[in-house]
Amino acid sequence: MSIDKDTVKHISKLARISLDDEKTDSLSKNLSSIIAFIEKLNELNTDKIIPLTSIINTSLTTRKDIVKNEKIRDQILKNSPEKNDEFFVVPKVIE
Amino acid sequence: MKDLSKNTLCRLISGIKKKDFSSEEITKSFINNSQKAKKLNTFITTNFDKALEDAKNFDKKKNFEGLLSGIPIAVKDLFCTKDVKTTAGSKMLSNFVPTYESTVTSNLWKEGAFLLGKLNCDEFAMGSSNETSFFGNVYNPYGDNLIPGGSSGGSASALAASLTPATIGTDTGGSIRQPASFTGTVGLKPTYGRCSRWGIVAFASSLDQAGPMTQNVEDCALLLEAMSGYDPKDSTSAKIKVDHYSKNLNEKIKGLKVGIPKEYRVDNMPDEIDALWKRGVEFLKDAGAIIKDITLPHTKYALPSYYIVAPAEASSNLARYDGVKYGHRSKGNNLIEMYENTRSEGFGDEVKRRILIGTYVLSSGYYDAYYIKAQKVRQLIKNDFDEAFKNVDAVLTPSTPSAAFKAGDKKDDPISMYLNDVFTVPVNLAGLPAISVPAGYDKNKLPLGLQLIGKAFDEQTILNLSLAIEKRAGFKKEINNWWKS
């Protein structure tokens, strides 16, 4: 199946990546060749196969649910491109 | 000044203990080499001043409790290092300074090593040639304009050029083993769960593993031992005791059964690779191993299923780069526009390709046809190995279908680039350990590696088999110095 330009626009919207026309065009070609490559899997009948969900045999471990207050707000905010004393800052969402 | 950089990791460790030289002298040797090797573009961030300070402190205290006491080590720039910039080779993280340390690097520092610098890699570890880094291509010391493989290309080149005594990389589809093969070095991808993934910039979480890259097998065993272990902060890390890989390392492999999978003889494989593989068989026979023909029938479906599973996980993992919490941020008139511009400007082409493929195969209406299908095929690939390991102790294959190639050769054709990983990807899908060990040269004097695949958590067997190959192959580093200034 080929990935036309409208499909590229649709998935780039879902992935929140803006693309200009030139990029959309080249990606349409690239992605189509990748999809054609992965469609080789259709040769295989997998009707009776259970999909693999984990390659580790043991079940995931759990830990005690303990509240930790390490007061690391400054560390969390440190790398933010825009912040004030307490919060991440984003463009206005609510009028 | 004595140049100590040509010594192996194990020799450096014993030399410091015997007072043959100091940690400071070692550190200076590597810094000196690095300053003359700028053309290779291996370092994104150097930590030389701090490393010298660490070395001097070590020499004052001389605490030899750790496995890596007094050793400077540069690591792939995918490991978060506290207060040292960690970029993942991306513009998106070009200003990111972690406030925490990855578990794997913490383990190295606990064993007495210290950080020499952060090494270049493909952007978010997506690439097979180290041509996708925001910080430019890495070059292979074996030849002008030659790529070192990827994604741990900076690690491989730095190691081959003696800019670090050993290093660590990460391997999602071959990113340790393929560059190791291209640079005449040893690289091991441990069993999934052997090393903690905590604090490593995530690419595809069900496939990612950190592993050692070293000059020889003995160093590899030691570094693996130092970095491995259970970590409560990674729920997929295994509560299985770490073996004393280095102490137990031996080439007594008599009677071990090694499988040769016929499906790895792919179309258009150069004769030299086939010849190398046969030589590997002879080396192992000579050491007393029993060679058996085996079949891994779904091998040819590994790459197509990988290129569904890995991008799917990547599209999810990389959703966190939104210009809000950390990393690059672009302007936008509203929140959505800010997200879209940030991600458009912050990610390079290959990363965008993979995010979009991942988004597509997970999107409504296509999820079953692609993603579930790939997970079913992944089960078949795992079953192939389970079946094979009923009859053999390890599997021998070539590491790569070719030697290192020139920059630009495959950059515009994603599929031909992806085919580099045809021998390495099945192992990640099945979660198994595998090592690439240098075994010879091609006609252009470029290194070629052989891959040994082991049972889950049986790294010791593949290390021992590799040692047997290493001793018989007599591989010697022969690099010209085109890159030295």
Q: Note whether A66 contacts B: Cβ–Cβ < 8 A.
A: no
Q: What are the structure tokens assigned to B446, written together?
A: 């470029």
Q: Are B206 and A55 in contact (CB under 8 A)?
A: yes
CB B95 to CB A7 under 8 A? no
| pTM: predicted TM-score of the whole model, two decimal places | 0.97
Known active-site residue B151: yes
Could you tell me how many CB contacts below 8 A there are between chain A and chain B?
A: 158
Give the whole-angstrom CA distance, residue B73 versus residue B424.
Answer: 26
B188 DSSP β-pair partners: B435
Pairing of β B209-214 and β B186-189: antiparallel
Among residues B154, B55, B69, the alpha carbon closest in space to that of B108 is found at B69
Which ipTM did the prediction report?
0.95
- Tell me which chain A residues have a C-beta less than 8 angstroms from the C-beta of B380: 44, 46, 49
For the four alpha carbons of B379, B273, B153 and B54, in that order, the dihedral sign comes to positive
Q: Which residue intervals of chain A are DSSP H helices?
A: 5-14, 21-38, 73-78
Shortest Cα–Cα distance, A55 to chain B (Å): 6
Mutation for testing the A interface, residue in B376, B413, B420 having most A CBs under 10 Å: B376
Question: What are the Cα distances from residue B391, in Å, to A77, B55, B256, B288, B297?
Answer: 54, 49, 10, 17, 15
Facing residue for A81 by CB, picked from B99, B323, B370 = B323
- Tell me which chain A residues have a C-beta less than 8 angstroms from the C-beta of B378: 51-52
Facing residue for A53 by CB, picked from B375, B418, B430 = B375
Q: Note whether A67 contacts B: Cβ–Cβ < 8 A.
A: no
* Type of residue at B235: S
Q: What is the DSSP letter of B453?
A: E
Give the whole-angstrom CA distance, residue B431 versus residue B419.
Answer: 20
CB B305 to CB A41 under 8 A? yes
Give the whole-angstrom CA distance, residue B361 versus residue B357.
Answer: 6
Residue B275 backbone phi and psi in degrees, to 5: -65, -40
Say which of B175, B181, B399, B466 is annotated catalytic: B175
- Tell me which chain A residues have a C-beta less than 8 angstroms from the C-beta of B352: 17, 27
Give the whole-angstrom CA distance, residue B485 versus residue B473.
Answer: 32
Known active-site residue B175: yes
CB B323 to CB A41 under 8 A? no
Facing residue for B338 by CB, picked from A31, A37, A91 = A91
For chain B, domains (ranges, CATH) are 9-235+247-263+270-296+386-473 (3.90.1300.10)
Q: Note whether A1 contacts B: Cβ–Cβ < 8 A.
A: no
Among residues B288, B258, B265, B202, the alpha carbon closest in space to that of B401 is found at B265
Shortest Cα–Cα distance, B154 to chain A (Å): 25
Give the whole-angstrom CA distance, residue A55 versus residue B188.
Answer: 19
Q: Are B296 and B425 in contact (CB under 8 A)?
A: no
Cα nearest neighbour of B207 on chain A: A55
| Angle formed by the axes of helices A21-38 and B302-317, nearest 10° | 140
Q: Count helices and strands (H / E) in chain B.
A: 15, 11
For chain A, domains (ranges, CATH) are 5-43 (1.10.20)
Give the position of tokens 């089960």: B379
Q: What is the pLDDT along chain B (485 residues), one digit of tens a residue?
A: 789 999 999 999 999 999 999 999 999 999 999 999 999 999 999 999 999 999 999 999 999 999 999 999 999 999 999 999 999 999 999 999 999 999 999 999 999 999 999 999 999 999 999 999 999 999 999 999 999 999 999 999 999 999 999 999 999 999 999 999 999 999 999 999 999 999 999 999 999 999 999 999 999 999 999 999 999 999 999 999 999 999 999 999 999 999 999 999 988 888 999 999 999 999 999 999 999 999 999 999 999 999 999 999 999 999 999 999 999 999 999 999 999 999 999 999 999 999 999 999 999 999 999 999 999 999 999 999 999 999 999 999 999 999 999 999 988 888 888 888 999 999 999 999 999 999 999 999 999 999 999 999 999 999 999 999 999 999 999 998 999 98
Mutation for testing the A interface, residue in B208, B373, B428 having most A CBs under 10 Å: B373
Q: What is the DSSP letter of A67?
A: -
Q: Which residue spans within B278-353 are E strands per DSSP?
A: 290-294
3-state secondary structure of B21: coil
- Tell me which chain B residues have a C-beta less than 8 angstroms from the C-beta of A58: 238-239
Q: Are B165 and B12 in contact (CB under 8 A)?
A: yes
Give the whole-angstrom CA distance, residue B80 versus residue B75.
Answer: 10
DSSP secondary structure, B220-287, as one string: HHHHHHHH----TT-TTS---PPP-TTTT-----TT-EEEEEGGGS-TT--HHHHHHHHHHHHHHHHT
- CA angle B249/B251/B254 to nearest 5° reads 130
Residues 6 or more apart from B427 whose CB is under 8 A from it?
B189, B433, B434, B453
The reply to whether omega before B151 is within 30° of 0 (cis) is yes
Among residues B205, B216, B155, B213, the alpha carbon closest in space to that of B189 is found at B213
Mutation for testing the B interface, residue in A11, A66, A93 having most B CBs under 10 Å: A11
Q: Are B4 and B29 in contact (CB under 8 A)?
A: yes
CB B239 to CB A35 under 8 A? no
**Helix or strand (DSSP H, E) at B302:** helix B302-317
Shortest Cα–Cα distance, B41 to chain A (Å): 26
Among residues B417, B405, B426, the alpha carbon closest in space to that of B172 is found at B426
Cα nearest neighbour of B306 on chain A: A38
Shortest Cα–Cα distance, A67 to chain B (Å): 15
Question: What are the Cα distances from residue B90, in Å, to B98, B325, B342, B346, B366?
Answer: 15, 16, 13, 7, 29
Q: pLDDT tens digits for B116-167?
A: 999 999 999 999 999 999 999 999 999 999 999 999 999 999 999 999 999 9
